[in-house]
Amino acid sequence: MTECQSSADFPNLTPLLRPQSIVVIGASEQPGNLGGVAVSLMQKFGYTGKISLVHPKRSVVHGLPCVTSVSDLAEPADMAIIAVGAQLVEGIVRQCAEAGIRYGIVWAGGYSETDAAGVALQEALLETCRETGFTLVGPNCIGIINARSAMVASFASFLVESDVLIPGDIAMISQSGGLATMAQALVQLKGVGFGLTVSSGNEAMLTVADYIHAAAVDDEIKVIATYIEGIRDGEKFTAAIERAAGKPVIVLKGGRSSASVQAAAAHTGALAGEHRVWEAIAKELGIISVTSLEELIDVSLYLSATDLTRLPKGAGVAIVTFGGGSGVLSADLCADHGLDVPALQPETLARLAPLVPPIAAIRNPIDLTPQTFNQEQWFSHFPEVLEIIASDPGIHTVFCQFGPMAQRGAETAKVISQLRTRTSKAVLIAWPLAPGGVPEILRREGVYCFEEYERAIAAISKIAKVGEAAPAAPEKSMQSISFDWLNHLPSLEDGAVISENQCHSILSQAGVRTARGQLVRSKDKVCKIAREIGFPLAAKGISGAVTHRAAAGLLVLGIQNEEELVAAYGQLSAQAASNDVLLDGVYLQEMIAEGMEVIVSGFRDPVFGPMISCGSGGNLTEMMDDVVLARTPLDVASAQKLLEPLRIVAAAKKLIPDVELSDLAQFVAHFSQVVHEAPWQRFVLEINPVKWNGSGVVAIDGLLIVDDADVAGKKQSLELG
């Protein structure tokens, strides 16, 4: 696993996020002028820092004096807003640097998001920034909004129509400017706001990881919400998330459908797409992964309004309702979202019984009926009833859901608010038809009220699942192996295939247990070698032209004696000849018939580095779609935790006497270290199947594909079986 980078590895972004002085280059009073829009917005919302303007022809813009060039400024500003066309930006950056300005935002498009010419223009801009020491936001972005200081380095249209800029403690960091400002506009409609909004644009220099890190070290930011389409530096991204420990990070990931592993000859390409890699990384890092903008807002606002020490520590939900049907539906929704609705303990039920109306149902879902509000006798007990429910050991979240309420709305809102301070459990509230004044009361009390039941359940399920079943970081004492792949591989021409016997020898030297086998090149020696290995046997026709032997008819299993062996040898030779395939020989391998078939594979993700995937193996690998992924290397404990959710693991425990998950975990942990040492930028090392039974774990068939040249410049495709 990657150790966290220090704060020194990230740039100081204070001049961009909290500038005390700003120069706007290109502002005018012409309708639609973006620089002019930003100036007017800062004036409207009350930015107290100094604003300077640069305009070659105007002496005053929006009531502020202008200078004709950056060099005429009396002193350097903390930040420049460069509101000019793309062709002029590079020259302006040089002028800013010469004037002592080292930070700026470029809104203009026309760069790498367009065509080859745009890519070249962006590269030239980046080179100028590096040469001059200029730190750049963008280009092709909407900019930065710091609502706490009314600093609007943006032309976001929703602010033109807004009367207020509401500050909050959420940082919204987005690779889409439109989504960022839409989220802020929707949040402001609820009467709350963001503290910081960043549109990262093309990320020519600063990436989403830099902004996450800046939010992580900002004491006024409590929650970090992000929209991400792509991550360029997995190590830096990981370091930024680790630095944010203690602050929830919510990620809405776009582009989940593309594949990061392209290997048509291996099952791994179908199983380990980019979305699954992302899910594994998110789970490992404790990221709350959401799937819509609505969900991003719900989760962010709930966490912003919540004591972060009172988040759910498990999946148990108590549904408190005042109408039976809505409780039943919510119980179904909890099941859909992976939450439990456990029956309350007998002791809890005994304490509740005298405090609720006689017709109430209290097993969970808990229907307290409208009588709770209609009669003072029962409403007076309502706060205690909620505390008793929250005290049940099987409950981790108390979910109160309300409908239309003609009376006691304000009192009920206060009861819910007080419950949050009296229990260590999470408190969740959904009130679609809250009476007038109630939303304001809840907002003043810092309670986020969901507008719909399922949205509340979906949000709390995301929060409750963070960290569950995540592979723990390996212990520092984990013994690492030192295995140099290139020392064990012979010189190869491009496209060469290494036979299975050679590959098994290499893996054995790396400490991976493989089934015994030997390559036979003549019919005369086949029986002698078979007697050395022992029956039953599998016979495999080995050829560099064939990667899937079973489909090509070059595999015979369960050979019991020499007569069957001779027949199998002839069958494989004839099949190869009929397909115009030249065999290197026939590989005889001990037959391990008993056990579960598991696929274990490794590959290098282009962003996050070496990964391992495990799941149901054999011929039904892709059909079963039973797979888990993690970054390498893993220790045994982490490997075991990774494997536990697999369906094949549950099946093995039921079907095979004496099977031990620890055996498979040890195999996977060791294999992950071998994968971690692989030198290639694009490779897939797949063992399918691995046989797992009461006697242990052994590799049977596999495939190694290297898509790019190795460190010596050779393209290799290495066959294991």
DSSP state of 145: E
Choice among 114-118, 473-477, 487-491, 635-639 with the minimum mean pLDDT: 473-477
- Say what the pLDDT of residue 493 is: 53
Question: Over 80: is that where the pLDDT of 542 sits?
Answer: yes
Q: Per-residue pLDDT tens for 302-360?
A: 999 999 999 999 999 999 999 888 999 999 999 999 999 999 999 999 999 999 999 99
Is the domain of 572 the same as that of 606?
Answer: no
Is 479 within a domain? Answer: no
As for how many domains the chain has, the answer is 4
Does some domain include residue 131? yes
pLDDT of residue 623: 66
Closest C-alpha among 573, 580, 595, 578 to residue 545: 580
What distance in Å separates the CA atoms of residue 286 and residue 245, rounded to the nearest whole number?
Answer: 9
CATH number (domain holding residue 209):
3.40.50.720
- The β-bridge relationship of strands 317-321 and 366-367 is parallel
Q: Is 705 within 8 Å of 687 (Cβ atoms)?
A: no
Structural element, H or E, at residue 159 = helix 157-160
Write a three-state SS string for 285-307. HCCEEECCHHHHHHHHHHHHCCC
Length of the chain: 721
Lowest-pLDDT range of 221-225, 475-479, 508-512? 475-479
Examine the fold and report which residue of 545, 572, 590 is the final residue of a domain before the chain moves on: 590
Same-domain pairing of 670 and 526: no
Query: What integer pLDDT is reported at residue 559 of this predicted model?
Result: 93
Q: In the structure encoding, which two tokens stand for residue 316, read together?
A: 């148990």
How far, in Å, CA of 69 to CA of 50, rounded? 17
Nearest C-alpha neighbor of 221 from the set 304, 306, 308: 304
Domain that holds residue 390: 307-465
Q: Where are the alpha helices (DSSP H) in 260-292?
A: 268-271, 274-285
Which of 402, 432, 465 is where one domain is finished? Answer: 465
pLDDT value at 711 more than 50: no
Same domain, 586 and 620: no
Query: Cis link prior to 657 (omega < 30° from 0)?
Result: no
**Boundary of a domain, candidates 432, 447, 465:** 465
CA–CA gap between residue 196 and residue 175 (Å, rounded): 14
670 is written with which tokens? 């060791």
230 & 329 share domain? no
Q: What is the average per-residue pLDDT within 223-231? A: 95
pLDDT at 566: 92
User: Do 576 and 611 share a structural domain?
Assistant: no
pLDDT averaged over the chain?
Answer: 88
pLDDT at 470 over 70: no
Q: Is 358 within a domain?
A: yes
pLDDT of residue 500: 73
CATH code (residue 682): 3.30.470.20
At residue 639, the pLDDT reads 95
219 and 324 co-located in one domain: no
Q: What is the mean pLDDT of residues 400-419?
A: 89
Amino acid at 460: I
Query: Is the pLDDT at 479 greater than 70, yes or no?
Result: no
Question: In this structure, is residue 572 part of a structural domain?
Answer: yes
Same domain, 400 and 523: no
Least confident of 16-25, 327-336, 391-400, 434-443: 434-443
Report percent pLDDT > 70 for the chain. 90
Predicted structure pTM score: 0.89
Task: Provide the pLDDT for residue 563.
Answer: 93
Residue 203 is assigned to a structural domain of this protein: yes
- Work out the pLDDT band at 265, boundaries 50, 70, 90: very low
List, in sequence order, every residue forming a beta bridge with 589; answer none if it has no partner.
517, 538
- 51 and 198 inside one domain: yes
Of 37-41, 289-293, 456-460, 510-514, where does mean pLDDT reach its minimum? 510-514
The predicted pLDDT at position 273 comes to 59
pLDDT at 2 over 80: no
Does 300 reside within a domain? Answer: no
Asked if the structure places residue 576 within a domain, the reply is yes
Q: Please indicate, yes or no, whether residues 231 and 373 belong to a single structural domain of this protein.
A: no
Same structural domain, 355 and 450: yes
Q: What are phi and psi of 517, to 5 degrees?
A: -165, 165
Using the CB atoms, write b or e for 76-91: b if 16+ within 10 Å. Answer: bbbbbbbbbebeebbe
CATH of the domain at 547: 3.30.1490.20
What is the number of helices (H) and of strands (E) in the chain? 28, 29
Q: Are both 660 and 563 inside the same structural domain? A: no
- Report the CATH number that the domain containing residue 409 is assigned in CATH: 3.40.50.261
Exposure class string for 610-629: b at 16+ Cβ within 10 A, else e: bbbbbbbbbeebeebebbbb
pLDDT of residue 507: 85
pLDDT for the residue numbered 679:
84
End-to-end Cα, the chain, rounded Å: 30
Q: Does the structure show a pLDDT above 50 at 710?
A: no
CA atoms within 13 A on the CB side of 274: 14
pLDDT range class, residue 682, cuts 50, 70, 90 = confident
Question: What pLDDT is recorded for position 336?
Answer: 96
Q: Is 505 part of a structural domain of the chain?
A: no
- The pLDDT confidence band at residue 468, using thresholds 50, 70 and 90, is low
Taking the CB of residue 135, how many other CB atoms lie within 10 A of it?
17
Tokens of 666: 């040890």
pLDDT in tens, 18-76: 999 999 999 999 988 999 999 999 999 999 999 999 998 888 999 999 999 999 999 99
- Co-location of 123 and 162 in the same domain: yes
Judge whether residue 524 has pLDDT over 90.
no
Q: How far apart are CA 631 and CA 468, in angstroms?
A: 17
Mean pLDDT of 8-19: 92
Rg (CA), the chain: 32
pLDDT of amino acid 584: 85
